[in-house]
Chain A
């Protein structure tokens, strides 16, 4: 007997898939830590394995992204704007893409990061990944936001979390400047082409935090409506 029921009225919720998506995205970008550790150890075989894992998670995120996009036809009425949900999703997905790009290029060129830079580079990377983690935390609040009808106390709480996210991003900007300076001092001893690519890797890592911040600000905009 097919369902003869008004319950079809409840459409598939976009919130749970959004949370699932950023969970995968975060896991994907956190994979950069073990990846760079093996790069520093010069173990390229292991690095290739970690890269593969990052790449797989990125694909998984893509699938989730596609499913959510398909499950949101125009006739769905949501407490948040449809356009905002899709935009948020696109931003989240960019984090995974970036993580994949970084690992792919480092592996492809067998890029080595000068020993003196490593400590500050790792600290910088970790801080950027903190931003991603914070973005995940913020997105996880969507559940509770729904519970409170997207207003009141819970909104202020999420806004505070977004402020924290902004702070983390500020930190990474400062650290990026420092890492670049170190590289500048080493420039003369390194292969110029490697230096070029190192600069762009540093920039990309910074973008992880930038995009994470953008996830937060998209959510902030949604709440402002």
Chain B
């Protein structure tokens, strides 16, 4: 107890710093995944992508980011093991953040597409299992994460497949693709708006202090969806029709319309990413703060202190603004034959999956859902070539990340314990 009272403020500052570092890392390179397809399909320029990402990442983090936080804080670790010595949990959370942040930086340096979510989970499991007791880890929750390596890509792949097929049926495989694109694309925009606003209302807004009745939530979401659809319709009506471009099919013109849709899905993706991944940085931080502020009491229901969510959001935005452009820039020419229509199916599906998973509190990785979605569109014969070798590497990196995060956090945990021990 003494330790927490004596060093309480120092520990909070340290935790805030490493939390910010972690958020910075997430923003700096994970966001490239979320925005990459939009830039790759030339629907957005890099500057536009960063601007959209900043606004929507922050909005996602702030408005819908609260739900996953509690899973990471309480779902994976059994807090009863820390009641006797809460300072261990504080050290653990700080070392987990530091471990995950460092692993993230190291992997990005080597160019490995690791999952930020899994690094923090691995780190949490690591210090708890070795530093405290292997019973302190809710292994079933870890099992769920391992299961998510298969389930999440499968779900998002399936959604992507359906979205791509529906676009084929309604737009591309018709006599007048351009007219049909004008007719149906607003509905896709509406769908994106609906999913986004529904999750925000149902899961996120209570953290901000707003309470909305469930039924009202649906009405509001539908209203927002319609609004988004109407704005989209207006934007589409302003698309310049180029009569010279392939007279027969007008696919080039259709792609222009999908490019507008792509902007909506990019917003959606950034929002989903923010809502899901900000928790990685702020979850452990929130735990530290609540323990110290309550003098070592580990309460089952700790409200977020007001400055934590904005800190995470700002960290992501800052990382994105200062380093994100470098990561996104390398993408620009790497992708061939990724047109807006194909990118859109992958992104909208991934965004839906992340947003839905964020709603259920399962800590999934954005990369996972995107890989699943891309494979889904590929299965529908919508993407010219997918490098299965890279897919394999990504999957391997998911597996490696858990033990790597664990090892680092064990190390930092004992270092911290040594420093602050009386």
A-side residues, CB < 8 A to B, are: 1-16, 73, 75-80, 143-144, 146-154, 157
Contacts and interface: CB of A to CB of B under 8 A. Distances in A.
A6 B33 contact: yes
Contacts of B139: none
Contacts of B339: 147
Nearest to A141: B249
Contacts of B336: 10, 12-13, 16
Contacts of B387: 8-11, 75-77
Most buried by B among A13, A15, A147, A148: A147
A50 B384 CA distance: 36
B417 to A, nearest CB: 31
A62 B399 CA distance: 42
Given A5-B327, A5-B330, A10-B383, 4 more contacts: A4-B112, A78-B384, A79-B382, A152-B172
B168 A149 contact: yes
The 4 closest A-B pairs by CB, nearest first: A2-B111, A79-B381, A13-B384, A152-B173
A9 B342 CA distance: 14
Main secondary structure of the interface of A (DSSP, over half): loop
Interface of B: 28-30, 32-33, 36-37, 40, 107-114, 164-165, 168, 172-175, 246, 248-249, 251, 254, 323, 326-327, 330-331, 334-339, 341, 367, 370-371, 374-375, 378, 380-394
A143 to B, nearest CB: 8
Given A4-B107, A75-B392, A9 B168 contact: no
A125 to B, nearest CB: 29
A15 B336 CA distance: 9
B374 A2 contact: no
A10 B380 CA distance: 15
A150 B37 contact: no
A8 B113 CA distance: 9
Main secondary structure of the interface of B (DSSP, over half): helix
A146 B382 contact: yes
A9 to B, nearest CB: 5
Contacts of A79: 378, 381-384
Contacts of B327: 1, 3-5
Contacts of B341: 147
Nearest to A80: B381
B41 to A, nearest CB: 10
A66 to B, nearest CB: 18
B370 A6 contact: yes
A9 B111 contact: no
A116 to B, nearest CB: 43
A10 B338 contact: yes
Contacts of B254: 147
Contacts of A157: 248
A181 B392 CA distance: 62
Contacts of B107: 4
Most buried by B among A73, A75, A80: A75
A79 B174 CA distance: 20
Nearest to B382: A149
Contact of A73 (B40, B111, B374, B389): B389
Contacts of A15: 337, 384
Nearest to A145: B381
A138 to B, nearest CB: 14
Contacts of A150: 381
Contacts of A77: 375, 378, 385-388
A195 to B, nearest CB: 47
Given A16-B336, A77-B378, A148 B371 contact: no
A75 B108 CA distance: 24
Contacts of B380: 149
